[in-house]
Amino acid sequence: MLSRVADGLYWMSRYLERAEHTARLIGVGLNLMLDQTPESVEVRWKRLLAALRTAPPPEGATEAYAITRALTFDPANPNAIVSCIALARENARQVRQQISSEMWEQVNRLYLFVRSASPEKIWQGEPIEFYQAVKEGAHLFQGITDSTMTHGEGWYFIQVGRYLERAGATAMLLDVHFRPYLEASRDPALSLEYNDWVGLLKCATAFEAYCKVYTADVQPETVAEFLLLDGEFPHSVRFAADRVQRGLQAIAQSTGTRSGGRAERLAGRLRASLDYGQVEEIMADNMHAYLDDIQRQCAAIHSAIYQTYVTYPVEKALDS
């Protein structure tokens, strides 16, 4: 497969995952807003912005409309949903002949849908429905991908892109919730309520799955355990790391990779640390540093993928 194509598939997938993640967080945020005090609303929007690594819009960070608009429609914001979907589509266009027509049509439809949406109208109407539609559009794309594309090298690049994005984003999401929680022993104003933990689970579509394992008894430790270390839930960090590693193994196999599989080794190390991690130790130690490190490892895996498959030096390739 062309290196440029692998790159396009990988980013197409990452951007769609990012758009879906943002839509999910905003959807949950809007839902939570319905039963909150104005003060807690402000705190929660700030948290949401931090989870998405986005600076608050200048015109008053508390204003829900301004925030969601910036996160959704601001073309100057590279992480806005509309930007992510446009970039996903742009990448899909670059690799148009490598993906199925059904996949292309779906990403194109999703793009046309968000582009033609009017922020004012959505806000005055049913904003939650809009975010629901974005999420479903992204899910549909994943379903179409799984059922219409050969599960070969290209498909694995799509998997790696999606799960690497997810691992990093979930780690970040956990961090913005657990940092104030762990610091609350010093400053009670930062403490999180039951609703916040439920909100966190919902941000990872994990509430129902969590209840099946731990019942509706929502405790920070078990939330952390579930979202970090659960082996079977698709939005946990461990699950994502596992998929990244499997994907990289499959890619190495189909390309007969020469360079010792640095990306594979890094992914294996991340997965192993999550496989054998203990939530008590993580929380007792320095959880913020731990979550930070996961994100750093994700970035290292990304670089290793690039060095192995996309931007490798030509001299080395000619020698082999």
User: Which residues in this chain contact other proteins in the complex, by CB under 8 A?
Assistant: 1-6, 86, 90, 93-94, 96-97, 101, 104-105, 108-109, 112, 153, 251, 254-258, 309-310, 312, 314, 317-318, 320
Cα dihedral: 57, 63, 69, 72 (round 10): 80
Work out how close the CB of 30 gets to other proteins at its nearest, in angstroms, rounded to a whole number: 28
Residue 55 is given by DSSP the state: P
Q: Are 184 and 191 in contact (CB under 8 A)?
A: yes
Q: Give whichever of 92 and 209 is closer to other proteins, judged by the CB atom.
A: 92
Cα dihedral: 206, 154, 92, 203 (round 10): 10
The phi and psi torsions of 216 (rounded to 5 degrees) equal -75, 10
Work out how close the CB of 141 gets to other proteins at its nearest, in angstroms, rounded to a whole number: 14
b/e map of 208-235 (b: 16 or more CB within 10 Å)?
Answer: ebbeeeeeeebebebbbbbbbbbeebeb
Q: Give whichever of 53 and 316 is closer to other proteins, judged by the CB atom.
A: 316
Q: Give whichever of 112 and 213 is closer to other proteins, judged by the CB atom.
A: 112
Q: Give whichever of 124 and 303 is closer to other proteins, judged by the CB atom.
A: 303
Measuring CA to CA, which residue among 39, 21, 19, 41 is closest to residue 30?
A: 41
Work out how close the CB of 308 gets to other proteins at its nearest, in angstroms, rounded to a whole number: 8
Q: Give whichever of 117 and 182 is closer to other proteins, judged by the CB atom.
A: 117
Q: Give whichever of 24 and 302 is closer to other proteins, judged by the CB atom.
A: 302
Q: Are 156 and 245 in contact (CB under 8 A)?
A: no
Q: Are 182 and 283 in contact (CB under 8 A)?
A: yes
Work out how close the CB of 289 gets to other proteins at its nearest, in angstroms, rounded to a whole number: 34
In this structure, the chain runs to a length of: 320
Work out how close the CB of 103 gets to other proteins at its nearest, in angstroms, rounded to a whole number: 11
Work out how close the CB of 96 gets to other proteins at its nearest, in angstroms, rounded to a whole number: 4
Q: Give whichever of 154 and 199 is closer to other proteins, judged by the CB atom.
A: 154
Q: Are 48 and 29 in contact (CB under 8 A)?
A: yes
**198 HSE (CA, 13 A, CB side):** 10
Work out how close the CB of 254 gets to other proteins at its nearest, in angstroms, rounded to a whole number: 8
Distance of CA 124 to the CA centre of its chain: 28
